[in-house]
Structures are given as C-alpha cells and as structure tokens.
Amino acid sequence: MSNPIKHTDVLIVGGGPSGASAALSLLNYSKCDVTIIEQSDFNKTRVGEHVSASIFNLIDYLKLNKNDFEKDSFIPAYASKSYWGSDNVSTTNSIFTTEEATFQMDREKFDFKLIETAAERGADIYPRTKCLDYKQLEDKSWLVSLGHPIEGKFTIKANYLVDASGRSANVCRKVGASSQKHDALMGVGLFFELDDKSKKFEQTLESVEQGWWYSACLPNNKMVITFFSDADIISENKLNKLEKWKDLLQETNHMKYLIDNTKALSDKLWIRNAHTQISDVRNLENFIAIGDAAVSFDPISSMGIGFSISSACFAAKYIAHKIENGSSTVAIYQEDILKNYKQYQTIKAKYYQEEKRWPNSVFWQRRI
Ligand SMILES: Cc1cc2nc3c(=O)[nH]c(=O)nc-3n(C[C@H](O)[C@H](O)[C@H](O)COP(=O)(O)OP(=O)(O)OC[C@H]3O[C@@H](n4cnc5c(N)ncnc54)[C@H](O)[C@@H]3O)c2cc1C
C-alpha cells in the first residue's frame, strides 16, 4: 500500500541555520505549520564560525537567548591578525563588520540548538531524507517526493516551498530558478587541539600565491586552519591531500607557527565549496530561497551565518503574508537581496585587489 500524502503549509529543504531560523520565525510569528527535510543525520562536521555581535539580535528575534545555548558556544574573538597585501601585520576585527565585538562560535552546538528548538516549537523534521522529485500543481502548491532509508518513499504536499539547502542551491536548480556561480572558491581545512592556551581568541589571515590561509581559535580549546583557493588550483596541486596541504602550510611566513604545540584532530582534511553564488526566484510562485541558497558569500566576509538567519526571518514574513493574505511580495525580498549582493561584490573586489604581490598568479588574476 502506498503511503498517504502528508500536508504542510511550508516545506523547508535544508536544516542548517537558515532552514531552522525560517521555521522558528514562522512558528513564532504566524499560524503556518512547518516541515523541514534534511538529508544528513545532523552529525556532519559544520564549518564557518566567525560572527559579529549582531548575531545576538537575530537570535533574540527567534525568541532565543545567548544563555539558551550550551556553555562555551560563543567566545569573543579579541585579536585578528592579517598578512594581506604585504607581509606586515595589520590587526583588525572582522573585515566587513563595523561592530566592535566579534565571536567564534561552536557551529555544531549553534546549529543543533536552532534545529532542536524548531522541533520543540512544533516543526516536523525529517532527517536522513532525500528529495527525489518536485512538481508544482496548477494551484501553485508543491508535491515533493521524498525518500528515507528506512521509512521508504513518501510524498508531501506544501503550499509553499523553501530552498534552504545551502551553497549548492539544490532546489533552485531542480525547480528552474536561476542560480549563478561567480567563482570556484573552495576551503580545505583541518581541526587541531590546542595545548598552548595562550593562543586562545586569535584569528589569523595570510595570503599566499595560490590563495589564502585562515585560522581561528574555537571554543573548547580547538583551532581550525583552512586554505582557500579555486577548485582547479586545489586539484592540480593535490592540496586536498594532507601531505601537500601541510607542505604548503610550511611555505607560509606566519601561519606555519600556529600548529606548534597542537595535535591534528583528524588525519583527513575536510573540503567545502566556498564559491560566491546568487539565485533569482522571481520566475516562480510560492517558492523562495534563503541563506546560502539565496546568496552565498566568500568566507572572507564572515557574512554567511548572519545573512542566513536574517534572510530566513525576512522570507518567513513574506511566506506568512502569502499564505495568510494571498498576496505575494517576494519581488521586494529578491530586489533587496540583489541590492545587497552588488554592495558585497564591490567591497569584496576592493579587498582582494589590495593584494598585488603575485601579478602572475592565476588565483589573484581572477580577482583583479
Ligand atoms: C569554509 C567555510 C568557512 C566559512 N566561514 C564563515 C564564517 O567564519 N562566518 C560566517 O558567517 N559564515 C561562514 N561561512 C558560511 C556559513 O557557513 C554559511 O553561510 C551558513 O552555513 C549558511 O547556512 P544555510 O543554512 O543557508 O546553509 P548550510 O549551513 O549549508 O545548511 C544547508 C543544509 O541543507 C542540507 N541539504 C542540502 N541539500 C539538501 C537536500 N537536497 N535535501 C535535504 N537537505 C539538504 C545540508 O545537509 C545542510 O544541513 C563559511 C563557509 C565555508 C564553506
């Protein structure tokens, strides 16, 4: 016997910060019911952790408090050293934020608290579930076929569909919204355990001929070191292999010293897409993209997590308005995104152009 069709007002694909925040906003401020589909079991290593203090206003809007998060979920990032454009150190706070305080988060704890709270407040959450097919019906609602390794195949009918699938913008691509990728940046990194507690709270940035290195001390005496470059450069130089990655790290002038008195927490590097992309959903009804699926920023900007939550909160208002009053204002949301995206691109280009030491490097030439 085939499974009955489940119904929901809003179906959110992706249980990261944007998906969980959209669910929380809808549950807090509207009468809509919400379902979240997440392909993982929520145990995947989460990366990206540097945020400005404005994150606390956003979690306040979600009706959460800093103290609701587990102890040590946020530590202040006091010192930030940058070797960019020259070998002289410049000490700054986050590159694009004007707030004085910035924080390093424990991403696993942060993401988990958001999704756990969404479940407690009534969201239906399906982990380890894959979206197999999307169909839009004549009344503009959506029929989404899903697959779970144990439960098997089932279908959800939703009034509204939300792409919160992250940088891949999986749903946008499947349902015919435009999604433009502007570069092929990737991050290849490793977590370390710190022996030397004096290193805590530091963040370091160092540009090199093939890209740039980033390190940050994280809560719980951990440190992350990531190398960012384009996919083809990483692949040609085998920088996704630990030995080659370590060799390149040893060629840095400053970053290499950070691993003294540390222990690598894995013998395998993690690899993530970090490209800039933007989606445009104006050709579709009852559909919106949020977080990285709407716009994904270069991690140099430290804008991703804040934007993923704020875009989700705004989108939730438009969705609730459409479901409860019938009129769509998604164009306003999309135009706002385009405007902010243009500003981001100008600032990003200016920042990359400060580095002029390697005029023949393919990585830097692509960013002139
Ligand atoms: C290396 C790196 C460093 C970064 N550093 C920072 C930083 O310091 N500060 C900052 O603010 N931002 C940073 N970012 C960006 C930040 O991580 C993202 O902006 C943020 O995670 C976006 O949240 P999201 O919910 O939109 O997407 P994600 O966090 O990517 O979540 C998407 C979720 O959707 C799920 N999913 C995907 N496809 C499907 C599907 N078809 N079906 C079901 N589920 C699906 C995924 O499993 C995932 O759980 C960094 C990113 C990278 C790659």
Angle, CA of 133, 139 and 144, to the nearest 5°: 15
Q: Is the CB of 47 under 6 A from ligand 1?
A: yes
Residue 156 has pLDDT above 90, yes or no: yes
DSSP per-residue codes, 231-273: HHHHHHTTTTSHHHHHHHHHTSSSGGGGGTTEEES-SS-EEEE
Share of the chain above pLDDT 90, in %: 78
CATH number at residue 219: 3.30.9.100
To test the ligand 1 pocket, which listed residue (36, 39, 125, 128) has its Cβ within 8 A of the most ligand atoms? Answer: 39
Largest CA distance in the chain: 69
Select from 35, 43, 2, 33 the least CA-distant residue to 19. Answer: 35
Domain interval for residue 141: 6-71+107-182+276-351
Residue 1 has pLDDT above 70, yes or no: no
What distance in angstroms lies between residue 86's CA and the mean position of ligand 1's atoms? 31
Q: How far from the centroid of its chain's Cα atoms is residue 206's Cα?
A: 22
For residue 169, is it left (φ>0), alpha (ψ between -120 and 50) or beta?
left
Q: Is the CB of 323 under 6 A from ligand 1?
A: no
Question: Residue 352: which residues within 8 A CB-CB, separation 6 or more?
Answer: 300, 364, 367, 368
Q: Is the CB of 289 under 6 A from ligand 1?
A: no
Q: Are residues 93 and 230 in the same domain?
A: yes
- Ligand 1, closest atom to CA 17? 25
Average pLDDT of the chain is 92
Give per-residue pLDDT as tens, 5-57.
999 999 999 999 999 999 999 999 999 999 999 999 998 888 988 898 899 99
Q: Is the CB of 39 under 6 A from ligand 1?
A: yes
- Ligand 1, closest atom to CA 37? 43
Lowest mean pLDDT among 33-37, 99-103, 225-229, 287-291: 99-103
Q: Are residues 26 and 129 in the same domain?
A: yes
More confident residue, 290 or 303: 290
Arithmetic mean of pLDDT, 96-117:
82
Angle, CA of 126, 132 and 138, to the nearest 5°: 100
In a domain? residue 19: yes
- Ligand 1, closest atom to CA 304? 19
Q: Is the CB of 187 under 6 A from ligand 1?
A: yes
Q: Are residues 78 and 172 in the same domain?
A: no
pTM above 0.75, yes or no: yes
Give per-residue pLDDT as tens, 295-345.
999 999 888 999 999 999 999 999 999 999 888 778 899 999 999 999 999
Give per-residue pLDDT as tens, 222-260.
999 999 999 999 999 999 999 999 999 999 999 999 999
Q: Is the CB of 211 under 6 A from ligand 1?
A: no
Residue 95: per-residue pLDDT:
47
Residue 20: per-residue pLDDT:
98
Arithmetic mean of pLDDT, 168-175:
96
- Ligand 1 atom 12: the closest Cα is on which residue? 304
For residues 212-242, b (16+ Cβ closer than 10 Å) or e, as one string? bbbbbbbbebbbbbbbbbbbebbeebebbee
Q: What is the number of structural domains in the chain? A: 2
What distance in angstroms lies between residue 165's CA and the mean position of ligand 1's atoms? 8
CATH number at residue 47: 3.50.50.60
Arithmetic mean of pLDDT, 108-126:
96
Q: Are residues 208 and 63 in the same domain?
A: no
What single-letter amino acid sits at 348?
K
Residue 79: per-residue pLDDT:
72
